[in-house]
Amino acid sequence: MLKTESPSSSHPELDKYALPELISCFIEDQTDAVNAVRLAAPQLARAVAEALPRIQAGGRLIYVGAGTSGRLGVLDSVELHPTFSWPHQRALALLAGGPSAMFVAVEGAEDDEPQGALDLRALQPTANDVVLLLAASGATPYVLGALREARLAGALTLGFANNPHAPVAEQADIGITLDTGPEVISGSTRLKAGSAQKMALNTFSSALMVKLNKVYGNLMVDLKASNAKLVRRALAMTMQAGAADEASARAMLEACGNHVKLAVVALRLQLPVEQARIALEQADGNVRQALAEGKASSLA
């Protein structure tokens, strides 16, 4: 029996617990998720290192999964755009059963290995693409079909599983095993197995975006200010990183089309917007490098 499917020996009478004890049990069990991701840190670092040159060369992130794992992949792909202005067409997600399975379970879809291959093939994967294959069991047929197709295309494959020696991890270029063990509710991998997958995906994609110069210090200066909350956040970050008062930051942001990175460079170097844009482009979007080179140029 898979470890994720095994009954928890710690809580055989879970249904008898008083409510405070029941809540504490669920919360405490999540520490296993944190520990599992911590142990997978070397594999996650390797995954980012190998994905980076492919993404810099124009590759895409393609998430593949079924059920909870697939929905977590969709979530990570969708959130990259508002957080880092990552293009929608370069963060794609395949969910067994199609888009409607995000809201209603499509029974049997995860067992269709040929469909996984067909869905991946329809995206015309290339050697620069990075395919993230998500399966708590590690043996979901739909995901394994997509894995096979991704390898045929020469894409970098990252296999995420919650059981040791799982096919999706062993057959991928880089296997990331999140060994969370038995669930409090036996077999319900939407619990700590899902939490571990969410943390691992957050860690991978966020680290990748940092290395793609989407962050300055610890500020997400490449966000897409697409709603009132994010507009306020953009203003606060521009004031902080640009060392500017609110009025100056607001005016510069407006001139820069709400592009925080550009506004920060323009404010800090006291440059017109177009010159700041050139400085940022020459630094490959790296705010710190653009500021250093700009200051060095002004001192020369």
Which residue numbers in the chain have pLDDT < 50? Answer: none
**pLDDT value of position 105:** 86
DSSP string, 212-229: TT--BTTB-TT----SHH
How many Å apart are CA 185 and CA 7, to the nearest integer? 8
pTM summary value = 0.94
**pLDDT value of position 84:** 96
Burial 210-240 (b: 16+ CB within 10 A, else e): eebbbbbeebbbbbbbeeeebeebbbebbbe
82-89: which pairs have CB atoms within 8 A and are 24 or more residues apart? 82/223, 82/224, 82/226, 82/230, 83/209, 83/220, 83/223, 83/224, 84/209, 84/212, 84/214, 84/220, 84/222, 84/223, 84/224, 85/214, 85/222, 85/223, 85/224, 86/209, 86/214, 89/60
Beta bridge partners of 133: 64, 159
What is the CATH class of 228-299?
Answer: mainly alpha
**pLDDT value of position 226:** 87
For the chain, the residue count is: 300
How many Å apart are CA 259 and CA 236, to the nearest integer? 13
Is 228-299 the same fold as 3-211?
A: no
Catalytic residue among 5, 21, 50, 79: 79
**pLDDT value of position 300:** 61
DSSP string, 74-107: HHHHHHHHHHH---GGGEEEEETT-GGGGTS--T
Domain ranges of the chain: 3-211, 228-299
Query: Is 79 an annotated catalytic residue?
Result: yes
Query: Is 110 an annotated catalytic residue?
Result: yes
C-beta separation of 287 from 280 below 8 A? yes
**pLDDT value of position 209:** 98
C-beta separation of 69 from 62 below 8 A? no
Single-letter amino acid code for the residue at 196: A
Catalytic residue among 5, 13, 107, 110: 110
Domain 3-211, CATH = 3.40.50.10490
Per-residue pLDDT of 27-83, as tens digits, reads: 999 999 999 999 999 999 999 999 999 999 999 999 999 999 999 999 999 999 999
